[in-house]
Chains A and B, each alone.
Chain A
Amino acid sequence: MLNCTMIERTVVVRNRAGLHTRPAAMIVKSAAQFKSDIYLESEDNTRINAKSIIGVMTLAAAQGTRLKLIVSGPDEEEAARTIAELFDTGFGEPL
């Protein structure tokens, strides 16, 4: 959309167990609270909807995986910050 900015930033899966069920559910539940469109894109250019548990699960991202977080919409800044923070803190799991 023309008059919408878009936030793109890189996030890294830091927790040891990777994006398994619990972290995936945390991302989806968190993303669902925002109006913005939120996507995660892997290095092979697969882009998934971060509000879709099937999508996030399918990334099967292991520890150390780099993903592009793409957020666009009225609350994009807060959304990007919140989701990135989940990755940064390793979803509260051992790093």
Chain B
Amino acid sequence: MTMDSDVDDSRGKSFPFRLRLHGSAASSGIAIGRAVVIAPPHARLLNWRTVASDERPREIERYRTARAQLLASIRASLSSARLVEDARAIIESYELIATDPTIEDAVETGILRDGMPAEVAVSTTYAAHIRAIAESSDPFLRERRFELENMRQKLVTILLSLFTPVGELEGRIIVAPSLLASDVVHYHSRGVAGFVTEIGGITSHACIVARSLEIPAVIGIRNATTIIANDVLLIVDGSRGNVLVEPDEQTIEHYRQLQFEYRQHRRAADDTLATTLDGKTIPIYASVDSPDDVPLALSYGADGVGLVRTEMLLVRLQHFPNEEEQYRWYRAIAERAYPKPVTLRVFDVGSDKILHGMPHEANPALGLRGLRFMLHRKDIFRTQLRAILRASELRNVRLLVPMVTAIEELSATIELIEYVKSELRAERAPFDEHLPFGIMIETPAAALLAEHLAQHVNFFSVGTNDLTQYTLAADRTSDLVAHIFDQLNPAVLQLLVHVATVARRQEIEVELCGDLATFLAATELLIGIGIGAFSVAPSYIPALKERIGSIHTERARSLVARALGCSDSVAVRALLRDSTLTNGEQHTQP
């Protein structure tokens, strides 16, 4: 691609840009715009600027919102636990601290008179009391400073998480320590052109969302929020992982040209089914987050929607929507994709998508997420199943459940589906009696139990991001273990081979979603393993279709045996490199 040509850093006497920062390419495309730097929490507390008089009431509002959240969590712990009298008195005293008039007066004075941001006023006020208590001669009183410190931290954390920059964000580039998927959605709605972050893995949900919204993003640039000043002009090259700071006119012009070519390439997408050299067709589906993404996905040549992350509806609404709201949303997706198939995945909450009111867990990725949460809250599950079944009237909907680890979960789910179907029959509501039902294979347990699970489902969808995370015990959002998190690890490949073998024997479909699907050097191996369809972010579809057109199934199968002989992912990568080279093909790095 022309994207690979570069601007010559040393051209002429002048520098084409002041600084080039290199990170990970998280979402492709090019953004050119001015930076909005969101300072990390500690910097926001230390180097604060006086809040303008007319914005001070907004800070008071933020303080009150944060305090209400803290109070709600204290009251929830009072009502949920069976407490001994002493413990109850202590927790009740937290409530009194949170509403203490002395503290409230001092915080509001700090904001209104001294122009402190809310988190600074809270931090300063609590710090003064903590100091006073620490100096007390009473040992019991001294102990209580830890509780005050804890409450201070909680309030400050809430306040910092409530922070969103004010002012115009249209066409600007957010530079932040890290971002949540919900932040990305929020900034997208405000017209942000690109993202630069200091930490995060490229398979984090924030990056997945950025890709599906086609917002260029570069992540993993250490100290980006200190190196990059507010309002400085940036070029974000999300295809190559570069950020250019203060580029000159010529460089900007060059990148505008690349941006144009990128959009042209994207428009050239074709609608024909991807077919291997030996005539096997491989559907390429799009992963989407809303009805609005569907026309975009189809414009890229998607053969359907392979994954609707319905939890994104929750991220937007911040509550569990009722049946009608859900039905309209699912129905809109099914109608827009019709007659192409649409796979609706049940809410995958938990892990890094925590909603207000959900139980707090020390280790949410291993906790009550996905199907586990839904079976814990059958009322929510039933409502969603009703909405999905009703949306299946056009006969192009498939149902998918995430995070399966045991056969009992599957039996309970099927029982609930049957119950909901009988309800709908009684109500004479139209739905697809033969709604295809599939499960995500994203835990080692599900992969190893594939033989048993296959007997109850119509298809498997392998989620390689989570499968890798759980197989290698490496948090996919942590850059400290990013070197361990490798989707080409032979341990992950062995599980894939096992799942595909079982699926072939039991004659059910096996599809693959996750970033491994977008790593074109691995496509041949995945076809060889027996993956029958892929679901990827829309922008990857044209290149993936093109790649499949150059693969021969027989040759791909011979690659699998050799890959299984590899002892580590370095060897797997070397094998894939050799294979693509002998094919005379270029390949991209993941």
Contacts and interface: CB of A to CB of B under 8 A. Distances in A.
A86 interface: no
A49 B96 CA distance: 13
A51 B96 CA distance: 9
B141 A60 contact: yes
B132 interface: yes
B248 interface: no
Interface in B109-163: 129, 132-133, 136-138, 140-141, 144, 148
Given A57-B141, A58-B133, A25 B89 contact: yes
Contacts of A54: 97, 100, 102-103, 129, 148
SS of A interface (majority): helix
B128 to A, nearest CB: 10
A88 to B, nearest CB: 20
Contacts of A21: 89-90, 93, 144
B100 A53 contact: yes
A22 B102 contact: no
Nearest to B125: A54
Contacts of B144: 21, 57
B102 to A, nearest CB: 4
A22 B86 contact: yes
Contacts of B148: 54
Interface string A11-44: 0000000001110110011000000000000000
SS of B interface (majority): helix
Nearest to B88: A22
Interface in B91-108: 92-93, 96-97, 100-103
Given A54-B129, A58-B141, A24 B101 contact: no
A52 B103 CA distance: 8
Given A21-B90, A25-B89, A58-B133, A53 B97 contact: yes
B108 to A, nearest CB: 14
A73 interface: no
B93 A24 contact: yes
A30 B387 CA distance: 50
A60 B89 contact: no
Contacts of B101: 49, 51-52
Q: For the side of the interface on A, what is the size category?
A: 10 to 19
Given A58-B132, A58-B141, A22 B97 contact: no
B102 A29 contact: no
Nearest to B126: A54
Contacts of A29: 92, 96
A13 to B, nearest CB: 13
Contacts of A55: 100, 102
Interface string A47-80: 0010111110110101000000000000000000
A54 B102 CA distance: 8
B144 to A, nearest CB: 6
Contacts of A22: 86, 89
A25 B92 contact: yes
Given A57-B141, A60-B136, A60-B141, A25 B102 contact: no
A18 to B, nearest CB: 8
A25 B136 contact: no
A31 to B, nearest CB: 10
Nearest to B85: A22
A78 to B, nearest CB: 20
A20, A53, A58: residue with the most chain B Cβ atoms closer than 10 Å: A53
Contacts of A49: 101-102
Contacts of B138: 60, 62
Nearest to B137: A60
A52 B140 contact: no
A21 B333 CA distance: 56
Contacts of A60: 136-138, 140-141
Contacts of B102: 49, 52, 54-55
B131 to A, nearest CB: 12
B143 to A, nearest CB: 10
Contacts of A58: 129, 132-133, 136, 141
A25 B132 CA distance: 19
Contacts of B97: 53-54
A55 B129 CA distance: 9
A69 B341 CA distance: 75
A24 B141 CA distance: 12
A11 to B, nearest CB: 19
A58 B128 CA distance: 12
Contacts of A51: 101
B86, B102, B129, B137: residue with the most chain A Cβ atoms closer than 10 Å: B102
B146 to A, nearest CB: 13
Contacts of B103: 52, 54
A26 B223 CA distance: 49
B129, B136, B138: residue with the most chain A Cβ atoms closer than 10 Å: B138
A87 to B, nearest CB: 18
B123 to A, nearest CB: 15
A55 B96 CA distance: 11
8 contacts: A21-B90, A21-B93, A29-B96, A49-B101, A54-B103, A57-B133, A58-B132, A60-B138
Interface of B: 86, 89-90, 92-93, 96-97, 100-103, 129, 132-133, 136-138, 140-141, 144, 148
The 10 closest A-B pairs by CB, nearest first: A60-B138, A53-B96, A52-B102, A22-B89, A60-B141, A25-B93, A52-B100, A28-B96, A21-B93, A54-B100
Given A25-B96, A52-B101, 10 more contacts: A20-B140, A21-B90, A21-B93, A25-B89, A25-B92, A53-B93, A54-B103, A54-B148, A55-B100, A60-B140
